[in-house]
Chains A and B, each alone.
Chain A
């Protein structure tokens, strides 16, 4: 698996992770890694094993098989060091409503081994990152749902872990708050490795650099979303006076042509080539009446439906 940080050891390395429940539920022999700078999204229908996987990574559940390494520490053998490198936001966020944001984050920091002297600075940093500074002296029970979710994220960041794990971070938030949380996750990505679970396709498409699709406890598909240029370009072409399909295949840089319906074509470019200019020139030269030409990204939704539905019919 190529990655721009591949020289650095992965922040999470999961090998053969399993937890078996009756009736084939649970998760079965998962393998994956997470590097700094990545937002890895676990996507899957309800009951696919997303929360079970995250719970095992956060030591809420013990695995039945396999191994987990966090920041180089084996979770079973050196749980304390591994846990120190880990920030976790469960769903719902683990808040104490009777505390103020500042007291709560201070408690979380001390719990994760931050010294009394360094705690105020750590709390201030976490508040600044999550936009909580203005409400840091308010009681958590008086805060809106969006702010509570941010407090949950601040809790996961306050001890500056290398790995941040978020379970359904935008569940139940209004669209504006959800957007803010996603923007925050995008910022956090610079300094941390982020693993999150969601069942929202749009959310995964918006923030993920890599997506693992889980179904019935298995990883059924893995796709990268951060290097669209690396894959061969796919183009949608709409012509008013189309030529024969094979004629389009002779345009330099075009590897394959598929007719979708009358006048609509899907063109696959040769790797590393962008044949758009050649297509436009040919269309003008031969009077094909070009109506539209645009890159075609198969949406994550199509991919998800294809993978999950494909498994269900299989």
Chain B
């Protein structure tokens, strides 16, 4: 546990010493602000035509905007995760962790912790934008809370997948491309969400987007939460297993 925190803290500090991390944070904030303002403007145009008991600003601005924040995570998680293990290995510093008296699990969890702190920061910025609407109207906080939990769970799963690919890839660039491809394909499974009969397809069930949507709409179900937790645990376990496997391989 001590080693996990130690590694996590070091990685987090190292993140903020690279221009890439600042660029990603600045870029994602800009994109989210753009999307947010676009939805606010559309809401202002729609508002006069909305019935009094109809959907409010939380449903028409916050939820769709946070869905875009989810798509943004598909792009930035691989870039943030690529240097964590593959980058360390490529420049030779991984030997330090490998020969220290700590387990592979502690290494993986430490790096994961740093990654999740950064993604958490991105999500905090995303949530802060709709929260400012509280100044002029009243928000559905239950719905926002569910959406926050949804995004955090999405970040947990994406972080685990990207870190796992960082453990498998020989170079950081391969890790970034690989995990971007995996996240994108998983996300696109959602497009196949309805079969001809109108039921959810099996492919859609694998898509994180499919499980994120109800949470963004304020519907919390244990099945969706379980999906994210299982994906997270599976890929973190796989990453730790790969690090142990490296000792046996050629």
Contacts and interface: CB of A to CB of B under 8 A. Distances in A.
Interface of A: 21, 58-62, 79-81, 83-84, 86, 88, 90, 92-96, 98-99, 107-108, 110-113, 155
21 contacts: A21-B250, A58-B98, A58-B99, A59-B247, A79-B101, A81-B101, A88-B99, A90-B92, A92-B92, A94-B94, A95-B92, A96-B93, A99-B10, A108-B100, A110-B6, A111-B3, A111-B7, A111-B100, A111-B102, A112-B101, A113-B101
B137 interface: no
Given A88-B99, A111-B100, A98 B247 contact: no
Interface residues of B, number: 23
Contacts of A80: 101
Contacts of B18: 98
B98 A60 contact: yes
B226 interface: no
Given A58-B99, A83-B101, A107 B94 contact: no
A90 B95 contact: yes
B194 to A, nearest CB: 48
A263 B22 CA distance: 78
Contacts of A62: 247-248
Contact of B98 (A59, A95, A110): A59
Interface in B138-195: none
Nearest to B3: A111
Contacts, number: 62
Given A58-B98, A98-B18, A111-B96, 10 more contacts: A21-B250, A61-B247, A81-B101, A88-B95, A94-B93, A95-B92, A108-B96, A111-B6, A112-B100, A113-B101
Interface string B69-109: 00000000000000000000001111111111110000000
B6 A107 contact: yes
Contacts of A95: 92-93
